[in-house]
Amino acid sequence: MSMLSDTSINLPVSTREELVALLNTRVGLLTDLFAQAKLAHWNVRGPHFIAYHELFDGIAERILQAQNLMAERSAMLGGLAGQTIQEVVASTSLDQWPKATRADHEVIQLVGQRLAQVANLIRADIDRAAQLGDADTADLFTEVSRQLDKDLWFIEAHYTV
């Protein structure tokens, strides 16, 4: 028996269940990415402090927007949206943020690594949602991927030539 609520969205229940699970996994991952972006924002130090402080805050805000879109899509498909903090800890694939790292040139590279990891996972999710026949969820993943790639570009411009 499905845990999904009824909806008039004409995707099979098994498809909706898989999409809800995928979306909620990414909501959890974005929860971790948001927390890490805020840790970078709060703790960065060095000659580029204000630029990085403001950049990380903007990225964190966009991560929250993406997280909200994914959670709402999960609910639209009849699922329960999101993950508890305990579920996030158990399911995240991101390394723990090294809180003692504060030097701006190190922090920006760590943020870039985390953004790239999440962006690459979500890029693969575009194809999975399309394979499942859900163009709307594929489009949502595309929108999030595009923003993560843009934020990654801003980050990498600080340390790649």
Domain boundaries, the chain: 13-156
Q: Which amino acid is at 89?
A: V
Total-model pTM: 0.95
- pLDDT tens digits, one per residue of 76-92: 999 999 898 999 999 99
Rounded Cα gap, residues 43 and 26, in angstroms: 25
Fold of 13-156: Ferritin (1.20.1260)
- pLDDT tens digits, one per residue of 1-39: 568 888 989 999 999 999 999 999 999 999 999 999 999
